[in-house]
Amino acid sequence: MLARLGGEPLAFVVHVGDIKAGGDSACTDAIYLDRRSRLDASRHPLVLTPGDNDWTDCRRESNGKMDPLERLARMREVFFSDGWSLGRSRMPLARQEACAERDGVACRCPGLPENRLWTKNGVAFVTIHVVGSNDNRGFDAANDAEQHCRSAANRAWLENAVRLAESPGIRGLAIVTQANPWEASRDKVYEGLLAQVAAGARRLAKPVLFVHGHTHIHRVDRPFRDGQARPVENAVRLESFGSPVVGWVRVSVDPNDTQLFRIEPHADQASGG
């Protein structure tokens, strides 16, 4: 599919996470390095946000019973060590470096190097690291602490993106993550994200596109509701394809369209898994 994308006139490619299978696929350094090599072969700049298969689910016995926190740290080393995209033609990206939460003067929750922000043709694009598998919450104290800090960092980074999108020269905002926040979860772990996106879209009064993966059902709809349960009409949800369908979605920015984002799905083929 990457080879087919290479033949398309694209400004960049975004991968919404899950660079490996969720089971029967050990989270080894070798598989990370293999995926880095494959993604770096992209003709276009490629931006990656992590998925739950890539580190959270590494605790599963079928994935080698590896430590998710250690694997996340290794993912950051392999994929997010600098301020550039992946791909043969690399694109500069802002990355989250500011502390998200402090304990006095000490930084308790640092920024996330995988959280990225860039602009193109009057649109702001932001990735936030929210994953499936209950966003890594509810397994043990160490992983709960990780999820708490990552959530704090995501909130700060998303607010930063909304503020940028409020600028007069920015026509809209695209938010990219892996998790499907409408999926049932313990502790209502995704509700804060849904509320923040809905409130941000209301504040912006500009087109907002929320892109995610995880549940493998391509769809385009408007499920966002504000605090009074009213539809947020300027916020559109796009879910990418997933196994068993190998596909991609072209998103074009059309300044003459009041919706701004034009969405064209391309379901290429069925995979074997």
Exposure b/e, 134-150, CB count within 10 A at least 16 = b: bbbbeeeeebeebbebb
Q: What is the mean pLDDT of the segment spanning 113-136?
A: 97
Instruction: Output the pLDDT for position 271.
Output: 55
For 52-80, what is the mean pLDDT?
A: 97
pLDDT of residue 255: 85
Q: Quick one: pLDDT band at residue 273, thresholds 50, 70, 90?
A: very low
Higher pLDDT among residues 273 and 34, named by residue: 34
Number of H helices, E strands in the chain: 5, 13
pLDDT digits (tens, 9 = 90+) for 194-221: 999 999 999 999 999 999 999 999 999 9
- What's the mean pLDDT when you consider all of the chain? 95
Enclosing H/E stretch for 237: strand 235-239
Distance CA 98, CA 109 (A): 9
CA distances from 26 to 35, 53, 55, 265 (A): 13, 10, 10, 31
- pTM (2 d.p.): 0.96
Q: What average pLDDT does the segment 3-10 reach?
A: 94
DSSP 8-class letter at 225:
B
| Whole-number percent of the chain with pLDDT over 90 | 92
Residue 170 amino acid letter:
I
